[in-house]
Amino acid sequence: MFKQKKKAVVLLSGGIDSTTCMAVAASETDEIYALSFDYGQKHSAELEFARFNAENFGATVHRILKLDNIFFQNSALTNKDIAVPKYSPYSAGIPATYVPARNTVFLSYALSWAETVRAEAIYIGVNSIDYSGYPDCRPEFISAFEKMANLAVKEAVEGRISIKIKTPLISMTKAEIIRKGKELGIDYSKTISCYNPSEGRACGCCDSCIIRKKGFEKSGFADETIYV
Amino acid sequence: MFKQKKKAVVLLSGGIDSTTCMAVAASETDEIYALSFDYGQKHSAELEFARFNAENFGATVHRILKLDNIFFQNSALTNKDIAVPKYSPYSAGIPATYVPARNTVFLSYALSWAETVRAEAIYIGVNSIDYSGYPDCRPEFISAFEKMANLAVKEAVEGRISIKIKTPLISMTKAEIIRKGKELGIDYSKTISCYNPSEGRACGCCDSCIIRKKGFEKSGFADETIYV
């Protein structure tokens, strides 16, 4: 009997989380449609790693879309006039690296692609344990997006697919994510998490670098990151 | 006492509905941020009218973003190999002019802009009475998007704004929309609804043209449309 192929759209940035999420998706799915964005991020070095990992984990297609989203400019991640803050254990609230509605825009494009290829799953490597405090990484956001998605698209409304937003890492610590990734064969030297890299090397002192560094310490694996 | 200015992002395509929605928004708001998209639509003539009406109704800024969204290609509105169907009173279901997740993507960009300028309202001219049956025009979709939006963005989550998706036309017939627009001073010859225009003139036989034509008949106003 003909078995329907399981298809998934995977949001892939080139960091630890999305790369591990990609590896998990590849272990659960027949066909992967990997999606990355060039939105003027200072850390666009990540796109080379995204390309490497999409191929490495056998994505059927990998697309890098260029976003003409000038509204994303109001962030330390994209705006050269706003410095990427150094990590501080005392900082509270949502940091300057927050990008307005970024995951909403990314997931909307993923939804558009998912409907086009009739994929039922959209994977996103959000994590709400060892993370920067972005609101669009929390389970309540993901759940609200999933509800909206199933009311938005023809294929779902007419009952041919049911969209699931899959977040395999959402409740894992960074150390657990790294252990999972090593189990699935990830070479983390081929990923970058840094918000402010120089020539593809991590700064070692932004939020994202510190969270990553501590994750490696706790994981029991050697830190494969290439620092400046 | 200093009164906070009321700001709104308005999705403006250049058709009857979004132009009327724009006029309503302008009558209720101090500052308008008008947003249009160039996504490869066959009816890109609408963007000229969008430009005219944004200026005419005093938008503070009007942006036309170019979307690199190849997933939108699976539609009669964008794909030259899929013909725009002629109107049929017997056709059922969601038509070939449906664009995958279009309003979700448009609203996501609007949300990104709304947060950036701290606008509380996003206006969209969706209508679920005289419309083409698109799922992302229905009240249940809009309501789900609004819930998601308030969980997605920093300004809302930290309590500085509460995003409202405003749909002033959602329960109006096309005739009622036209009457409202005339009351607010719209020149409908400066709008276009056609899915398949030639040199900026309406075909007169697609879904959208027929719905518009009937709307004028019932409204009591002369049809200002310029047909081929």
pLDDT of residue B30: 96
Any idea what the Cα angle at residue B104 is, between residues B100 and B109, rounded to 5°?
125
3-state secondary structure of A63: strand
What ipTM describes this predicted complex? 0.91
Question: How does the average pLDDT of chain B come out, rounded?
Answer: 90
| Segment B2-15 mean pLDDT | 90
- Tell me which of B130 and B163 has the higher pLDDT: B163
A102 contacts in B (CB within 8 Å)? 112
Q: Chain-centre distance of CA B145, in angstroms?
A: 16
Minimal-distance CA residue of chain B relative to A97: B154
CB A141 within 8 A of CB A135: yes
| Residue B72 reports pLDDT greater than 90 | no
3-state secondary structure of B216: helix
Residue A90, number of CB atoms within 10 A of its CB: 4
b/e for A32-71, b at 16 or more Cβ within 10 A?
bbbbbbebbbbbbbbbebbbebbebbebeebbbbebbbeb
The pLDDT tens digits of the residues spanning A203-216 come to 998 888 998 999 99
Strand (E) or helix (H) holding B32: strand B31-38
pLDDT of residue B87: 66
What is the 3-state secondary structure of B164-196?
A: EEECCCCCCCHHHHHHHHHHCCCCHHHCCCCCC
| Residue A34 reports pLDDT greater than 60 | yes
| Residue B55 reports pLDDT greater than 70 | yes
pLDDT of residue B89: 57
A63 contacts in B (CB within 8 Å)? 70
| Segment B137-157 mean pLDDT | 96
| Residue B78 reports pLDDT greater than 60 | yes
Query: Mean pLDDT lowest for which of A179-193, B64-78, B143-157?
Result: B64-78
Which of B11, B66, B68, B72 to probe the A interface (max A CBs under 10 A)?
B68
Strand (E) or helix (H) holding A36: strand A31-38
Q: How far is B160 from chain A (nearest CA, A)?
A: 13
Contact yes or no for A65 and B66 at CB 8 A: no
| Segment B159-166 mean pLDDT | 95
Gap between the Cα atoms of A116 and B73, Å rounded: 9
Domains of chain B plus CATH, in order, are 7-219 (3.40.50.620)
| Segment B132-151 mean pLDDT | 94
3-state secondary structure of A68: coil
pLDDT > 90: percent of chain A: 68
| Segment B46-68 mean pLDDT | 93
**A→B interface, C-beta within 8 Å:** 63, 65-72, 74, 93-94, 98, 100-105, 108-109, 111-113, 115-116, 134-136, 138, 140-141, 144-145, 147-149, 151-154, 156-158
Minimal-distance CA residue of chain A relative to B107: A105
For the entire predicted model, the pTM comes to 0.92
Q: Which two tokens stand for residue B116?
A: 């950036």
The pLDDT tens digits of the residues spanning A90-113 come to 566 777 788 889 999 999 999 999
A112 contacts in B (CB within 8 Å)? 69, 71-72, 100-102, 104-105
| Residue A52 reports pLDDT greater than 70 | yes
| Segment B71-92 mean pLDDT | 72
Give the helix, strand, coil percentages of chain B, each rounded to 5: 40, 15, 45
In terms of Cα–Cα distance, which of B73, B100, B135 is closest to A109?
B100
| Segment A49-72 mean pLDDT | 91
Minimal-distance CA residue of chain A relative to B92: A158
Gap between the Cα atoms of A7 and A25, Å rounded: 9
